[in-house]
Structure 1
Amino acid sequence: MFGNPLSSKQKNELKRLGQCCIINPRRPNIALCDTDKVSFIPMPAVSEDGYLVDMADEEYGKVKKGFTYFENNDVLFAKITPCMENGKGAIAYGLTNGIGVGSTEFHVLRPINGISSPYWLLTLTRMPIFRERAAKNMSGTGGQKRVSASYLNHFMVGLPAIEEQRRFEAIYRQADKSKFGDFKSQFIEMFGTVENNTHNFPIMTIGEFANCFAGATPSTSHPEYWENGRIRWMSSGEVHKGHVEDTDSRITELGYKSASTRMVPIHSIVIAIAGQGKTRGTVAITEVDLCTNQSLCAIVPDERVNYSYLYHNLQGRYLELRGLSGDVNGRGGLNLKIIQKIPVILPPIEKQQQFASIAQQADKSKSVIQKALVYLNDIQSDELRKIA
């Protein structure tokens, strides 16, 4: 669609990225009181697949200094390793009072009206070859390497016509609608929240309607616990699959009996209770029977709770879940007692099932659109690598 944006031989005019967007725009004078709310977006709130996982409201006076400032439709680009290499970046949208503040490890790319679209900027900066080249030009040492604003400013890129960018934006927006970010607002409209229970639905803790248990890992020093295994065994890193239809590892019956892991039935929820990066607090649905390691907690709801409803409820509370075990930005861990005490609003099962049906249809739509976007990105990346 865009051709080869990084090639010197192409149909689009070559421009410095700094001519296509405003990089790290200055904060304007803001007519906000210190008690007014703005959106706060730390690094864990930005996913590695190009979306905001969650954001919280903070009083402007508490965050107006010491953080990065941005507005709706700005593109966030993680500049520090390994977040940059892992693809962290997103379009800021739905910000409270139109204003967001967040990690100082973000570069902000602001589209220029009539020249660039946030969706083109996000797609460009998420391309593997763009990230690979940026990684080669990082400065600093060890885990503190960063991509400089100067590098982004002087990066040469083929700028598509704004009409072409807008056509792509229409496709991207359709894919965006199928992400859970829109589900979250629909979820709140349908059911309210624990803090704002506008429909007066019952509120129960997870421990009151579900069986919760953690898994375990058979000893890796015993090959007979793993070789030719037939029992699916899930590690915490696989929680990012969202819907777990298979696992990367399997264990034998002997390995299963040697450890304290337990079978998790199909259509249960698993939540990462430990892990680096954005893993802790992430949830997934089991689409097959499996067992897990000790860094995952299984939540097996009873007949009063629809598993898909519970999954989306917890998925939309990502930062809240991370905060239960300490600082959302740091290391920490959840545990069974914490999870069992998490309150959940429980509408009638019929309403839960109604929402689950909406979510299922959106997942189908999302799958089709995202496959098309992945195909487009793969074609572009393959072309770029040929000339890199």
Structure 2
Amino acid sequence: MKGWQTVRIGDVCEIKPSKRQARAALSDNDPVSFAPMGDLGIGQKYLSASDERPLSEVARSYTYFADGDVLLAKITPCFENGKLGIARHLKNGVGFGSSEFMVIRPGQELLAEYLYLFLDRDEFRQRGAKVMTGAVGHKRVPQEFVEASDIPLPPLEEQRRIVAVLDEAFAAIATATANAEKNLANARELFERCLADVFEAPSSDWIVEPLKANVRFIDYRGKTPPKREAGVRLITAKNVKMGFIQRQPEEFIDPAAYDSWMTRGFPRQGDVLFTTEAPLGNVAQLDTDEKVVIGQRLITMQPNPDRLNRTFLKYMLCSAPLQRAILEQATGATVSGIKAKLLKEISICYPRWMDEQLAIVERLDRLYDLSQSLADSAKTKIKRLESLKQSLLQRAFSGELTMREPLAA
């Protein structure tokens, strides 16, 4: 690549510029922009500072930056998620913000937009994540890693061309991604609307009774079984999502402790699982016939099979009317939850005859499968668009980017 060279970021950038620069240019009462971590976006090229404060209020405790600086979130999970942006349109050209910002000031031979694109690559984040230091939950990417990272450096005119080509391609990708995300939201709304139609205005001859009337509750809340690396699978509230159970995180207990632990009842395939807090109100059916242990913040519901179909109960608990009724009984200022005795008193409404319940379940199953198919298609589109973006970035920094890149995803 003619005219290209490879340099260390630390050789062409100043990292963590001194606050003395701001103090030398401004008085204590002069306003400057202020940006907490929340102002730094993901996939958002420019920082939009949300506040202004006097220099004297922020200069001591916060991180200094100026117009044209590149801000990189250095703490987990913000770094891995790609929080990154270029400062511009700052009050008096100066900003202060989160202590978790790493400020990178490009030299004259490096465009801030070009550096931003280089740092926005998955490959850079993956390498950085491997060398993070600090306690769990507070790990940070070291300044030394950024300084020592090699960056391909073409002439400024080539940098401008690369930035222009990628900006055009990424604008098209952003539009396509927004459309795919709208389709995903529409797919979810389609099923939720159909579900609400069934349970918002039930037939007048449906049975109305408290949940406890024909549903057995198995409640292991307040108990935490000792865990091990393998054994009987433990299902917790973290596994139960709205309408399905996800495999991760995988946790286990000792098989020898299964019978002595599960003294309140054994869950069976098809049973309805309900999260009582963190989060409140997620509902799914147990999808396996293997032995499992039910953890904290979960209630297992076993309806009377002669009166109430298990899948019908799942859909009913997922519906907007029942979710509203559950939330009305929730307690807790920080984390919403519901007590078992209040949950048992929630009124439910269902058809008297089992064949009518089964017909509704069959119709809702078809609609659910359709909405999932539409959602999966939208998710696949979004993943392909992100892969295309990363492919374009890889080509850009290897000198393979043509003047116009087709959007094909």
TM-score for the superposition, normalised by structure 1 = 0.50
Percent identity over the alignment? 11
Equivalents in 2 of 1:139, 1:339: separation in Å? 49
What CA distance in whole angstroms lies between the structure 2 residues aligned with 1:174 and 1:370?
7
Q: Which of residues 204, 211, 227 is equivalent to 1:206?
A: 211
Within the candidate set 351, 354, 358, 1:353 is matched to 358
Residue in structure 2 matching 1:334, options 326, 338, 345: 338
Indicate the residue corresponding to 1:311 in structure 2: 314
Asked which structure has the greater CA Rg, the reply is 2
2:190 is aligned with what amino acid? D
- Quote the offset at 1:293 in angstroms: 0.7
Contact 1:233 1:250 in 2 (8 A): yes
Q: How many residues align?
A: 242
In structure 2, how many angstroms separate the alpha carbons of the residues matched to 1:240 and 1:139?
40
Q: Is the 8 A contact 1:232 1:250 kept in 2?
A: yes
One-letter code of the match for 1:297? I
- The alignment yields a C-alpha RMSD, in angstroms, of 4.4
* Preserved CA contact (<8 Å) 1:245 1:287: no
Conserved? CA contact 1:215–1:262, under 8 Å: no
1:135–1:203 CA distance, 2 compared to 1 (3 A) = farther
Q: Distance in 1 between matches of 2:324 and 2:385?
A: 34
Aligned to 2:389: 384
Which residue of the other structure, out of 266, 269, 274, is the alignment partner of 2:272? 269
- Please tell me whether the aligned partners of residues 236 and 296 of structure 1 are also in contact (alpha carbons under 8 angstroms): yes
Paired residue type of 2:245:
V
1:339-369 Cα offsets, whole Å, 9 max, x none, are 2111101113222212211221123223333
Partner of 2:284: 284
SS of residue paired to 1:300: strand
Mapped contact 1:232–1:246 kept (Cα < 8 A): no
- Structure 1 partner of 2:235: 234
Contact 2:273 2:300 (C-alpha < 8 Å) held by counterparts: yes
Q: TM-score w.r.t. structure 2 length? A: 0.48
| CA distances 1:42-61 after superposition (whole Å, capped 9, x unpaired) | xxxxxxxxxxxxxxxxxxxx
**Aligned-partner Cα distance in 2 for 1:204–1:254:** 40
Matched position secondary structure for 1:236: coil
Deviation at residue 241 of structure 1 after TM alignment: 6.0
**Deviations for 1:63-120, whole angstroms, at most 9, x for unmatched residues?**
xxxxxxxxxxxxxxxxx989x999xxxxxxxxxxxxxxxxxxxxxxxxxxxxxxxxxx
After TM superposition, give the deviation of residue 134 of structure 1 in Å: 6.2
Give the Cα–Cα distance (whole angstroms) in 1 for the partners of residues 280 and 275 of structure 2. Answer: 5
Q: CA deviation at 1:172?
A: 6.5
Q: Unmatched 5+ residue regions in structure 2?
A: 1-35, 43-77, 88-94, 101-166, 395-409
Partner of 2:347: 343
Give the drift of 1:189.
Answer: 3.8
- Please name the residue that 1:244 is paired with: 245
Structure 1 unaligned spans of 5+: 1-79, 87-127, 144-155
- Conservation of the 8 A alpha-carbon contact between 2:41 and 2:83: no
